[in-house]
Amino acid sequence: MATILTSTLSPVASASAAGTQTRPSFLARAWNAVVEARHRAAEREIERFIMARGGNLTDSVERELSRTFGTPAGRKD
């Protein structure tokens, strides 16, 4: 006796479902844009900080970066 296994989905349905991707909502895209812009601004600020201190990331510059940019807003240590 031979057994034949078949797929329950048609090839057209599975191909169209696999190619469909949902687009994030407007608010999600706006939030991601804001986060990316702030990330780029922070990286530019850190780059300026390092360049103002000779352009090399030494241990002392890294400690100064940590003290300057590492403390969350509103926290006093």
Residues of the chain with pLDDT under 70: 1-19, 71-77
If you ran DSSP here, which 8-state letter would residue 42 be given?
A: H
pLDDT, one tens digit per residue, over 43-63 is: 999 999 999 999 999 999 999
pTM of the prediction?
0.58
Q: How far is CA 25 from CA 17, 31, 32, 37, 53, in A?
A: 20, 10, 11, 18, 43
pLDDT of residue 1: 44
Q: Identify the CA nearest to 61 among candidates 76, 48, 74.
A: 48
The pLDDT assigned to 75 comes to 61
CA separation for the pair 61, 52 (Å, rounded): 10
DSSP of 18-40:
HH--PPPPHHHHHHHHHHHHHHH
